[in-house]
Amino acid sequence: MTVRSILHYPDPRLRKKAQPVAVVNDDIRALVDDMAETMYQAPGIGLAAIQIDVPKRVVVIDCSTQRSDLKVFINPVITRREGTYGIEEGCLSVPGIFEEVERAHTIEVRALDRDGKPFTLVAHDLLAVCIQHELDHLDGKVFVDYLSRLKQQRIRKKLEKQQRLAI
C-alpha cells in the first residue's frame, strides 16, 4: 500500500468525469488499498479516486470514530434521496476550508464492494453527507461549487496562495 499525493482545488484534474470500473480486479483492489491508506494518513473520512488523479468511479469512506469501518464504493449510484440536512463539510482537496452545504438527509446507494459484489446501503446524517460529497467528486464536482461566487473566489485565492508558498 502506498500513500498517494492528493490534488488540491482548483487543480483542473479534479474536474474530470470519472469513468466506470469495468472489472473489479487486483489492480482496482490495489487502488482501493492505496486510497484507504491515503485517507487514513491524511487524516480524512472520505476519498474519491479522482483526488489522487485516477479518474475511475471508486470511493472509500470511514466515518467511524474508531477508524475501523472502511466502506468501499465502486461505480456507486444514489437511488433514493430524502429530506434535507447540512453540516460543515471539509475536503482533503480543499484544505482548511469548512462550509455547510445542503444535502439529502437519507440516501440509498447502490455500488460494488472491494470484491466486485453488488450491495445496497441506506445511509443517514454524516455518512449520507459523506457519500454525497464523494460521489460529487466522481462527476468533477467539489463542495465549494455549492457556495456563493464570492466565497468561491476567496477560497480559490487562499488556496492558490498556500500552494505558491508550499513550492
CA angle 78, 82, 86 (to 5 degrees): 95
Stretch that binds Ni ion, among 4-12, 28-36, 83-91, 148-156 (CB under 5 A): 83-91
134 belongs to the catalytic site: yes
Question: Residue 63 Cβ, how far from Ni ion at the closest point, in Å?
Answer: 13
Q: Is 91 in the site for Ni ion (CB under 5 A)?
A: yes
> Residue 104 interacts with Ni ion (CB under 5 A)?
no
The residue among 55 and 116 lying less far from Ni ion, judged by its C-beta, is 55
Residue written as grid cell 462550509: 99
Binding of residue 144 to Ni ion (CB under 5 A):
no
Residues forming beta bridges with residue 59, ordered by sequence position: 48, 73
Of 37, 100, 134, 160, the catalytic one is 134
- CA torsion sign, 80 to 152 to 97 to 167? positive
Nearer to Ni ion, 31 or 129 (CB): 129
CB of 137 to Ni ion, least distance (A): 6
Count interface residues toward Ni ion (CB under 5 A).
Answer: 1
Question: Counting Cβ atoms within 10 Å, is residue 124 exposed (0-12), middle (13-18) or buried (19+)?
Answer: middle
74/134 with CB nearer Ni ion: 134
Helices (H) and strands (E) in the chain, counts: 3, 7
Amino acid at 36: A
Beta-bridge partner residues of 109: 78, 121
Query: Min. distance of Cβ 89 from Ni ion in angstroms?
Result: 8
Q: Which residues are catalytic?
A: 134
Residues that bind Ni ion (CB under 5 A): 91
